[in-house]
Homo-oligomer: A and B are copies of this chain.
Amino acid sequence: MTERAAPSTIRDVANRAGVSTATVSRVLAGIGNPKAETVGAVMAAVEALDYRPSSVARSLRMKRTFTFGLVLTDIANPFFPELVKAADDAARQAGYSIVLSTSAYEEHRAVHYLNLMADRRVDGLIVASSQVAATSWEWLAHAPLPSVVVNVEPVGATTAVITSDNEGGMRLATEHLIALGHRRIAHVTGSFTFSAASVRLQGFRAACAAAGLDPDTMPVIDGDGQFGGGEAAARRLLAEFPDITGVVCYNDITAIGLLAGSRAIGRSVPADLSIIGCDDIAAAAWVSPALTTVAQQKGEMGRLAVEHLISLLDNPDQEQAASVLRLPMLLRIRETTGPAPAASRPR
């Protein structure tokens, strides 16, 4: 094989079966009442020629690609796999497929990738990010195709947003520590370019206040949402605030970094220090002690995003409203949280 044979076309099939291309198209689509004889001839030709319809041609003609574009910031971010998988399943089940595109974290590239997907004429767009800037919202609002934004705080949102109850989730995490008797609790934030970072900080403070702990006296340390940020936080925290017995982290990766950093310094978890994360990525169950965390319903988000898109497509008259759906986060108690050390407990 030196020259690769061109794929056979519907015309090849029609010729071989002695029918028109229209008939082939109908038979394959299961439309009308073709004679059994015709069906046989067509199928035989299809088989013989190994015919597979070009979805490029089909898309051009039907003005639909039966494809959704899923653009995400970073495929290496362990938050996404579960979301992608669920979206893929849901799409597939409805006769769509998903094409993935990674946007990196730069905003100008984001719009670039959105355009690329639109050029592909995908039928809808799912934007899964941790930060969506004004220009992107703008673009989405005027785009010639429907979209859903996932996993983002809806500041400036112009489309449907599906996200987690970040405030409530963090409250849940903080309350868990408080219930265990902790009174000196710190928070390691994410980068504030992530739209959820301030909301989660808010949740932390709210839970403290509700329990009668003055939030302003609780240390808040800047992290970056990465392993390194958590690791560094461990050093700062234990040097500057040695009385802290519990830490609520912006996300799991930060918590895992903090866990490693604490161990390096010689504090044992959870005996000396309790740590709780957020997201419930796969690695949370892999570290030891296994990380207690509040889980985002990642699969659910992906599934719902696809379903929303499909409903938007099915009712083209319905306006694409800027709605917000917040999924609750779920406490997953594992091994990094325990009772506050007796020594540091008041009374």
Cβ-defined contact, A259 with B288, below 8 A = yes
Cβ-defined contact, B288 with A263, below 8 A = yes
Bin chain A's interface residue count: 35 or more
Q: How far is the CB of A266 from chain B (nearest CB, A)?
A: 12
A36 within 8 Å of B (CB atoms): no
A316-B3 CB under 8 A given contacts A78-B78, A287-B287: yes
Give Cα distance in the complex from A152 to B127, angstroms: 32
The stretch from A53-61, A179-187, A325-333 touching chain B is A53-61
Which of B55, B82, B145, B286 touches A76 (beta carbons < 8 Å)? B82
Chain B residues with Cβ below 8 Å from A7 are 118, 121, 144
Which of B59, B78, B116 touches A56 (beta carbons < 8 Å)? B59
Chain B residues with Cβ below 8 Å from A119 are 52-55
A297 within 8 Å of B (CB atoms): no
Give Cα distance in the complex from A54 to B117, angstroms: 10
For this chain, the copies found in one complex come to 2
- Tell me which residues from 126 to 158 in chain A have a Cβ below 8 Å from any Cβ of chain B: 144-146
A317-B2 CB under 8 A given contacts A7-B144, A99-B100: yes
Cβ-defined contact, A55 with B288, below 8 A = no
A319-B1 CB under 8 A given contacts A99-B99, A99-B100, A120-B56: yes
Chain B residues with Cβ below 8 Å from A60 are 54, 56-57, 60
A6 within 8 Å of B (CB atoms): yes
A193 within 8 Å of B (CB atoms): no
**9 additional contacts (CB under 8 A) given A55-B120, A253-B286, A259-B288:** A1-B320, A2-B317, A5-B144, A7-B121, A7-B144, A52-B118, A56-B59, A75-B81, A283-B286
Interface of A with B (CB < 8 Å)? Answer: 1-7, 52-57, 59-60, 63, 65, 75-76, 78, 81-82, 84-85, 88, 97, 99-102, 115-116, 118-121, 144-146, 227, 253, 256-257, 259-260, 263-264, 282-283, 285-288, 290, 316-320
> Can you give 25 contacting A-B residue pairs, CB < 8 Å?
A1-B320, A2-B318, A7-B118, A52-B115, A52-B118, A55-B120, A56-B65, A75-B84, A75-B85, A76-B81, A76-B282, A84-B102, A85-B102, A88-B102, A97-B101, A99-B100, A100-B100, A256-B286, A259-B288, A260-B287, A282-B283, A283-B283, A283-B286, A286-B287, A287-B288
